[in-house]
Amino acid sequence: MTDNLYHTISAVLVNELKQYFPNIPIRPQSINNEAPTYPYIVYKIYDDYDRVLFNDVENETFDLHVQFKDISNDENEAKGLGYELRKLFFLQQPAYDLLQQSIVAKSCDSIPPVDQYLDVDWQFTAGADYTFEVQDNFTDQTQTGSIASVNPEFNIKKGAES
C-alpha cells in the first residue's frame, strides 16, 4: 500500500461494502454535509495503529479498528443491516478480496444500538466494530543506493609454516 495508507484501506473496505450493499449510500462518519436518504452506512477508523509485532518497520503488521454503522428510520432495518455487516468481511469472497490487499478481518463485535428522536422521526443505529489486521507493505527508503559489485582480494598462505 502506498500513498496515504488510511485512504487506501478505506477505499478497499468501501469497495467491498458497495459490492454487497449496492443500493445503500456509504460515507465517512465525520462529514458535515446533508445526510443521505435512509438507510445508509457510515464508517470510521477510530483506532489507527495497534502494533502486533515488536520493532518491525518493513512490511509491518498492525491492527486497525473500524466501526460501520447502519442508520435508518426503521429499527428492524437498522438491526438487519448491522447483522449482515457483522458477517460480511468473514464471508469467503470478501475475505479473499481483502487478503489480496493485505487486510484480514480478525474479529467483530456489535455496537450498542443508538435510538434518537430527530424533531419529526426516529433514527436507529446498529452496526459492526471490526478489528482488521493490516500489513503495510512499507519499504525503508532511508538508505538509498546499492552495491554494484564486489571484488574481494584474499591473501591466502598455502602450506603451514613451522
User: Which residue intervals of the chain are DSSP H helices?
Assistant: 5-20, 75-88, 92-99
Q: How many residues does the chain have?
A: 162
pLDDT in tens, 50-90: 666 666 666 678 899 999 999 999 999 999 999 999 999 99
pTM: 0.76
- When the pLDDT of each residue in the chain is averaged and rounded to a whole number, the result is 85
Which of 40-44, 115-119, 142-146 is predicted most confidently?
40-44
Portion of the chain with pLDDT greater than 70, in percent: 80
2 has pLDDT over 60? no
Residue 6 · residue 45 · CB < 8 Å: yes
